[in-house]
Structure 1
Amino acid sequence: MANALKILSVLLSYPSADLGAALPEIEAAIAADTRLAADDRARLAALAADIAGRDTYDAQERYVSLFDRTRTLSLHLFEHVHGESRDRGQAMVDLAQMYERQGFDIEPGEMPDYLPLFLEYLSTQSDREVHELLGQTLHIVANLRTRLLKRGSIYANALLVLEALAQAAPEQVALDELLEVPDHDPDDLEALDLVWQSEAVTFGGGAGEQACGPDRLRMQVRAARRPPPQSAAQKGS
């Protein structure tokens, strides 16, 4: 399972020139991973081929439009349950500390709830831990998969494979609540500025002594219904 999680982490990352250069190796790793079902290997191979077949700038523009300019498609897990609330900062500190306790180092400025980073961490854990932690985020994964399928995005393939690896079903009530959040127009730059306004997150001291194990993560990724951000016009009314 570790190999598949590493592949998913890479394919869901920003499509840099380095990623483009590594795609032939990634495609070979997909083909060689016999632990994946044939359909899942085909899904990942199709995504890798799609990224490889695009100009780097085009691939990057698509990625930004999907994942960076559309909150409901954000690859930051806690965005979907905490939004801009202060709870998100504490949740990120807790998750970063869990990584640290397991000897998994992240670079300064990296957000620990970024899905590709979370998957890279999971690739270092036992299958039991993977199923435990992945199961707790599965409603977020299913939410992303549903929205990407509606858009006809090839990136839905990665989320489908991730759900298959989880070997579980998402909590339906939590998923339904996430799916009730309306999509936002990624070209509405004024609304985009309002959506992504948030408190700065500082990692380190002040987070308390409580460990961020499976129970803590379950609490942090609980579904929370949040009203959509108000537009400037609505605030002025």
Structure 2
Amino acid sequence: MSQKVRVTYLAAAWCLSYPDDELLARVPLMRSALGEFGGALAPFEAVLRQFETMDLMALQGQYVQEFDLGKRHALHLSYWTDGDTRRRGEVLGAFKKVYRGSGSLVNTHGELPDYLPMVLEYAATVDLAGGQALLQQYRPSVELIKFGLLRDKLPHTDILAAVCGTLPGASPLDEQAVMRMAGHGPPTESVGLDPYDPRLLPMKGA
């Protein structure tokens, strides 16, 4: 079971990353690895099919539109719990501490350490238990990303659902249930970044 989880996490990390030639070359590997486990391939099918059929520039433009130009599907986990407050710096430091504690060199690829694909790759390739602990700690963030993708009818929804399915307990049925699970209330100390989507106000605490 742990091997299936590792494969799921690594494939999810890749599918949620900015597409390039290297990523597209990995599609057969992802199909083969996921196909070894019953049902593991299905949540990835729609995204992998896009990788196989769409022009790379179109894929890149779509990714920027959906994941970079706004916060609706922000992939940085602490954004959803701490927003753009000064406390977020402490949270990011805690992520770095986890990575350093593993004794392995973790390449951040220029991203903040709470970047979901990075956490997934860390869990898949370095420390499954430690990575899952981070995902569980930030379960509300992962669930809110999933609901945002679902609302916009993006194929990555099923991938987020597959990740949530590896964590203890059932997923909340809606965003309100996620907020009740985490304790809802927007941070008040802004440091001047983009305003939040009013439907997805960040939550206090992790």
TM-score bracket, normalised by the shorter chain, equals 0.7 to 0.9
Distance 2:10 2:21 in 1: 18
State the SS of the aligned residue for 2:77. coil
Post-superposition offset of 1:31:
0.9
Q: Read off the aligned partner of 2:134 and give its amino acid letter.
A: L
Q: Given the two structures, how large is their TM-score scaled by the length of structure 2?
A: 0.77
- 1:223/1:153 Cα in 2 relative to 1: closer, same or farther (>3 Å)? same
Q: Which one has the largest radius of gyration?
A: 1
The match for 1:223 among 193, 203, 206 is: 203
Q: Read off the aligned partner of 1:95 and give its amino acid letter.
A: F
Distance 1:93 1:132 in 2: 16
Post-superposition offset of 1:72:
2.7
- Same amino acid, percent of matched pairs: 25
Contact map agreement 1:76 1:114 (CA 8 A) in 2: yes
| 2:6 matches 1:2 | yes
Counterpart of 2:148 in structure 1 is 147
Post-superposition offset of 1:83:
1.9
Q: CA RMSD in A?
A: 2.7
Counterpart of 1:18 in structure 2 is 22
| 2:179 matches 1:176 | yes
- 1:138/1:169 Cα in 2 relative to 1: closer, same or farther (>3 Å)? farther
Post-superposition offset of 1:176:
2.9
Moved more, 3-12 or 104-113: 104-113
Counterpart of 1:125 in structure 2 is 127
Contact map agreement 2:24 2:52 (CA 8 A) in 1: yes
Distance 1:223 1:169 in 2: 20
Post-superposition offset of 1:111:
1.3
Distance 1:88 1:174 in 2: 23
Post-superposition offset of 1:15:
0.7
Counterpart of 2:198 in structure 1 is none
Distance 1:44 1:68 in 2: 21
Map of 1:4-153 to 2, 5 A cutoff? 4-32=8-36, 34=37, 37-38=38-39, 40-107=40-107, 109-123=110-124, 124-126=126-128, 128-153=129-154
5+ residue gaps, structure 1, are 182-192, 197-221, 226-237
Q: Given the two structures, how large is their TM-score scaled by the length of structure 1?
A: 0.68
